Amino acid sequence: MTAATPEQATAQANAQAVAQTNSLVAKLWNYCNVLRDNGLSTIEYVEQLSYLLFLKMADEIAGDPFTEAEARAVVPAEYDWQSLVTKKGIALEVHYRNTLTALAQNPDTTLGTIFAKSQNRITEPALLEKLVVDLIGKEDWTIQGTDLKGDAYEGLLAKGAEDTKTGAGQYFTPRALIDAMVDVMQPGPDDTITDPACGTGGFLIAAQSYIREHHKRMSREQRLGLGKGKIWGNELVTGTARLAAMNMLLHGIGDADGDSLITVGDALAHKPKKHASLILANPPFGKKSAITVVGTDGKTDREDISYERDDFRATTTNKQLNFLQHIMSTLEMDGRAAVVLPDNVLFEGGAGETVRRRLLDEFDLHTILRLPTGIFYAGGVKANVLFFEKKRPQAGGGHNTTKVWVYDFRTGKHFTLKQNPLRRSDLEEFVRAYAPGEPRSVREEAEPNERFRAYTYDELITRDKVNLDLTWMKDPSLDDADSLLPPEVIAKEIVEDLQAALSEFAAIAEALGGDVPADADATEAGLTD
């Protein structure tokens, strides 16, 4: 028998890892079925599993003779996994409740973040005992390495994201999009990387994985830095921050008893405490927040919570514009960013125009990726990825942007979440056209691509309201009778267009002081990773 080539061996190993991951996801999802019978929503039972999984894995690490002694005691003995398995029935339920309370006492640590405000929602002691003894307790969760378990946990989050009725979908960005964004940004071991609206940590984990895969010869300091503070995030929702901390820990980022790399709170409420060389983000979508913003233009846009941000040049309660301004402030000089933002950021007047002018003048906005509909869990979302770099002011008040390359990945593209989901291969042409790591002049020299077009600064700055919502392609299915889309796809796109229009009309009505039904904004749920 002919020996397998290195490429074949790698492919076989990858296939085996995928199969193992899928098997673990299936097991975890079956556990969720047990909890669903107890009346929990998707996001709640993923959360409940995270507590028990962490305690079980901490126990395995503590019992591993190859683990350094000082790294073994992650959880105090009186609250560890062994303290749970020795109890049954009501005694187990009471001890588990006390364990959750005790482990949440130090909120600044990763352990405290994972268990912050934790509650036992498994009200039937028999179900809790079944999970502890018969299900999670019988699996070796760390024996094959944290990456595999982390991938399985991420797969569970992806399945949970399908449950849009309970809001789980708001915490998930398609992995294919995350990977493509990371591939073109090419994070390195000396980067400091953050996401101010990190959701479950997808961007941060993908960045760390890219560095480990593409930089095999890192120094010890560089390796340690990846897990000790060079990668961090912020999340508004406590429960989602818990999932992010757990997800990152499973991928080897951070220490259970060290400072938490996920902070919890409103990222927009304060100026950034530290700056980053790379920002990857998909801020929550939605027109308004309950805030008061006071900007350097002297205006006040009032709602319920006060933001004193003198680093914001434009006053607005549009959350995406404020996140964009926050990211501008968080970037260090020569830092770079890739940010998912809805269409209204590209064409909205007033504060939107002010922010876009600043983006073109003070930053190098070099690429815009127009995304198709049907790839997010919230309906009616039309979004883009903005790629830009922070530059020093030009002498004489000049501008840092010279050309903006727009890649239209929307026209003629039709995706659905289940029948035709977005895959990383679908974005390969964009990644090649972006030419990561190469001078921008390479784009000029490349073969013509009808989806990739450059616009000069002078062309853009003279457009009405500096409108960056640029399109030139026509959907080929509109002209070719043989390529007409199936009726269900056409109907779905009509619904998405109506939802997007409803969101804009609702935003206008709200801005004018009108009452808007709570469900009128189709994109308010948000789309973090």
Q: In which element (H, E) is residue 390 found?
A: strand 383-390
Give 300's strand partners: 294
Q: What is the pLDDT of residue 275?
A: 97
Show the DSSP H helices in 257-334 as ranges. Answer: 319-330
Enter the pTM of the model: 0.81
Residue corresponding to tokens 């992995």 = 175
Q: What is the pLDDT of residue 17?
A: 65
Do 305 and 434 have their domain in common? yes
- Give, in order, the Cα–Cα distances in Å from 277 to each of 194, 274, 280: 9, 10, 10
In a domain, 352, yes or no: yes
| Domains of the chain: total | 2
Closest among 144, 128, 116 to 90, alpha carbons compared? 128
The 10s digit of each residue's pLDDT in 94-129 is 999 999 999 998 888 888 888 988 889 888 899 899
Structure tokens at 61: 């690490």
In a domain, 397, yes or no: yes
Give 235's strand partners: 264
Do 317 and 454 have their domain in common? yes
Which phi and psi angles does 450 have, rounded to 5°?
Answer: -65, -20
In a domain, 308, yes or no: yes
In a domain, 359, yes or no: yes
In a domain, 210, yes or no: no
In a domain, 99, yes or no: yes
Give me the sign of the Cα torsion angle 366, 370, 375, 381.
positive
Alpha carbon 323 to its chain centroid, in Å, reads 14
- For the chain, what is the total number of helices (H) and then of strands (E)? 18, 12
Residue type, 437: G
Structure tokens at 326: 């926050």
Do 274 and 423 have their domain in common? yes
In terms of C-beta density within 10 A (0-12 exposed, 13-18 middle, 19 or more buried), how is residue 321 classed? buried
- Give, in order, the Cα–Cα distances in Å from 238 to each of 118, 131, 206, 243: 9, 24, 22, 9
Q: What is the pLDDT of residue 31?
A: 74
- Of the residues 115, 147, 179, the one at which a domain ends: 147
In a domain, 104, yes or no: yes
Q: What is the pLDDT of residue 518?
A: 46
Which phi and psi angles does 388 have, rounded to 5°?
Answer: -150, 165
In a domain, 327, yes or no: yes
Do 143 and 273 have their domain in common? no
Q: Which residues of the chain have pLDDT under 70?
A: 1-4, 6-11, 13-15, 17-18, 21, 36-38, 42-43, 63-73, 142-171, 286-306, 378-380, 476-486, 488-490, 492-529
Rounded Cα–Cα distance for residues 503 and 439 (Å): 39
Q: Give me the CATH number covering residue 112.
A: 1.20.1260.30
Q: In which element (H, E) is residue 262 found?
A: strand 262-264
Contact residues for 435 (Cβ-Cβ < 8 A; gap 6+): 442, 443, 446
- Of the residues 117, 147, 177, the one at which a domain ends: 147
For residue 63, what are the domain limits?
6-147
Q: What is the pLDDT of residue 13?
A: 65
- Of the residues 147, 175, 196, the one at which a domain ends: 147
Q: What is the pLDDT of residue 93?
A: 95
Q: Give me the CATH number covering residue 332.
A: 3.40.50.150
